[in-house]
């Protein structure tokens, strides 16, 4: 029998330290749903999602009940819709978004990702139509998330698409102005997007993925934070060791849940994504971990180094705990979803520029950042370009999820509710990058893309 201390430790992690499985995400290929008739294609999409994911929520709930581990979200990711939709002549892809939304509601999932296009080297006609449909799709659906990949280390950055994304984000903010420009929280612009990410809003089922699979995202910043409290004053290599051990425990739970879900749903297991994903709850914050390492506030000099240590130790600890690790895997730093980040941003200790530096060493990028509603589209595009350049040159995933909250200005605050939290409006450098952005074209791939 396992010892009493270990049993109580597990219970403490779940009960007091917010250990949870953040998401079970079912990836579904929709490649057999393309059709020249848009109504037929949408019908096939709806039917396929309902058929494959019909038991997803129920299964998640039964695993939750039996193992006593909260599974916060059940989600679906699908093949980037541009690939499916371009077989039909329709100019507007809104009906696809609505079909996805209906299917997500029928099966009862929290979110569905994949209203997406991969345009890192250029747009097909279908990609262009999808991009144009994004603002309305996000305004007229509730559960659909969208993502666009605008760059890769291999292909460089499609700056024409980056420019378009600046405008699309502005339009999405306007169309969803009555809900704090919430639509932008469901839209991610990627460089080096991964194909098996279970986390929203950037999940999609990549074209190299199987017919259907289960990916699981674990969480647990609170557990790491509590473990570090016990390592007060110790050197940083001891801190890294503590994080590794904790990440191992957390990931083992993710692996167990993934195997159970996969067996019960008779769907192959894909990956465990071992990301530390904060929530607005007190004690479930990545910022708290960085501050526990000895920073008076996240954003202070040293933050990037502390985050680099954290991100690396999480991976090292988690990788042995799972048979397949994938997705984004690392530490997320969404501002609005992390009580410590919110506090630091409000106090002016955490700036957009520092966050950009942090994204060089974290798992994703500029995430859930609210900026003034009058931020020009070109400035948003330039922020995306900077982030994409970090991803491209460093051979890592980088992303931007930014909310130019309509009608809001510095000092205001925008509330999204639930896991999306609330965000203080952060200042943006007002020097114009318009001429640079309006050039369009491509930023060529870096020298180290030529690895063959």
Nearest to 428 by CA among 389, 365, 376: 376
Query: Interaction with another protein in 140-169: which residues (CB under 8 A)?
Result: none
Contact between 357 and another protein by CB under 8 A: the answer reads no
DSSP string, 257-305: HHHHHHHHHT--EEEEE--B---SSTT--HHHHHHHTT-SSTTSTTHHH
Contact between 65 and another protein by CB under 8 A: the answer reads yes
Residues that contact another protein, how many (by CB under 8 A): 21
Taking contact as CB under 8 A, which single stretch among the options 248-256, 326-334, 357-365, 384-392 is the one that binds another protein? 248-256
Contact between 58 and another protein by CB under 8 A: the answer reads no
Q: Which is closer to another protein, CB of 68 or CB of 444?
A: 68
Q: Could you tell me the smallest distance in angstroms from the CB atom of residue 250 to another protein?
A: 8
Distance CA 44, CA 33 (A): 5
Q: Which is closer to another protein, CB of 65 or CB of 347?
A: 65
CB atoms within 10 A of CB 135: 23
Q: Could you tell me the smallest distance in angstroms from the CB atom of residue 15 to another protein?
A: 8
Distance CA 218, CA 205 (A): 18
Contact between 11 and another protein by CB under 8 A: the answer reads yes
Query: Interaction with another protein in 362-401: which residues (CB under 8 A)?
Result: none
CA atoms within 13 A on the CB side of 298: 26
Q: Could you tell me the smallest distance in angstroms from the CB atom of residue 13 to another protein?
A: 8
Contact between 252 and another protein by CB under 8 A: the answer reads yes
Nearest to 203 by CA among 314, 313, 111, 289: 111
Tokens of 271: 């990956």
Orientation angle between helical segments 221-229 and 236-265, nearest 10 degrees: 150
Q: Which is closer to another protein, CB of 94 or CB of 319?
A: 319
Contact between 67 and another protein by CB under 8 A: the answer reads yes
Of positions 38, 69, 82, 428, contacts another protein by CB under 8 A? 69
Contact between 7 and another protein by CB under 8 A: the answer reads yes
Distance CA 433, CA 429 (A): 10
Q: Which is closer to another protein, CB of 8 or CB of 207?
A: 8
Q: Could you tell me the smallest distance in angstroms from the CB atom of residue 410 to another protein?
A: 45
Q: Do 402 and 185 touch, CB atoms closer than 8 A?
A: no
Q: Could you tell me the smallest distance in angstroms from the CB atom of residue 249 to another protein?
A: 5
Query: Interaction with another protein in 77-96: which residues (CB under 8 A)?
Result: none
Tokens of 129: 């139509």
Of positions 34, 256, 339, 352, contacts another protein by CB under 8 A? 256
CB atoms within 10 A of CB 64: 18
Q: Do 180 and 414 touch, CB atoms closer than 8 A?
A: yes
Residues at the contact surface with another protein, assessed by CB under 8 A: 1-2, 4, 6-11, 61-62, 65-69, 249, 252-253, 255-256
């Amino acid at each position: 029998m396992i010892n009493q201390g270990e049993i109580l430790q597990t219970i403490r992690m779940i009960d007091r330290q917010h250990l949870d499985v953040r998401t079970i995400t079912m990836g579904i290929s929709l490649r057999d749903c393309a059709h020249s008739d848009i109504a037929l294609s949408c019908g096939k999409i709806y039917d396929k999602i309902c058929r494959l994911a019909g038991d997803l929520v129920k299964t998640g709930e039964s695993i939750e009940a039996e193992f006593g581990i909260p599974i916060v979200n059940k989600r679906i990711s699908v093949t980037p819709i541009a690939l499916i939709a371009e077989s039909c002549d329709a100019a507007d892809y809104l009906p696809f978004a609505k079909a996805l939304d209906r299917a997500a509601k029928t099966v009862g999932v929290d979110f569905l990702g994949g209203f997406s296009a991969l345009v890192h080297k250029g747009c097909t006609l279908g990609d262009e139509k999808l991009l144009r449909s994004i603002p309305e799709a996000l305004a007229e659906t509730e559960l659909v998330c969208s993502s666009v990949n605008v760059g890769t280390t291999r292909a460089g950055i499609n700056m024409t698409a980056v420019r378009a994304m600046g405008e699309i984000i502005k339009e999405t903010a306007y169309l969803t102005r009555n809900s704090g420009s919430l639509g932008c929280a469901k839209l991610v612009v990627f460089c080096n997007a991964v194909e098996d990410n279970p986390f929203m809003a950037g999940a999609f089922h990549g074209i190299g993925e199987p017919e259907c699979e289960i990916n699981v995202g674990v969480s647990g910043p609170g557990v790491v934070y509590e473990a570090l409290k016990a390592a007060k004053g110790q050197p940083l290599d001891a801190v890294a060791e503590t994080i590794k051990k904790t990440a191992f425990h957390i990931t083992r739970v993710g692996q167990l849940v993934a195997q159970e879900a996969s067996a019960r749903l008779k769907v192959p297991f894909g990956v465990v994504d071992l990301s530390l994903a904060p929530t607005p709850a007190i004690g479930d914050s990545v910022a708290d971990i960085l501050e526990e390492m000895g920073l008076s506030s996240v954003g202070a000099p040293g933050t990037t180094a502390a985050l680099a240590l954290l991100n690396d130790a999480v991976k090292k600890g988690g990788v042995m705990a799972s048979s397949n690790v994938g997705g984004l895997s690392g530490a997320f730093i969404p501002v609005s979803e992390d009580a410590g980040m919110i506090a630091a941003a409000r106090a002016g200790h955490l700036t957009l520029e520092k966050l950009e530096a942090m994204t060089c060493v974290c798992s994703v990028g500029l995430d859930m950042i609210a900026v003034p509603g009058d931020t020009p589209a070109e400035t948003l595009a330039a922020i995306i370009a900077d982030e994409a350049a970090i991803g491209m040159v460093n051979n890592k995933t980088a992303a931007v999820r930014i909310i130019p909250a309509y009608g809001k200005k510095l000092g205001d605050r925008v509330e999204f509710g639930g896991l999306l939290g609330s965000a203080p409006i952060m200042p943006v450098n007002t020097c114009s990058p318009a001429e640079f952005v309006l050039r369009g074209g491509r930023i060529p791939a870096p020298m180290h893309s030529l690895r063959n």
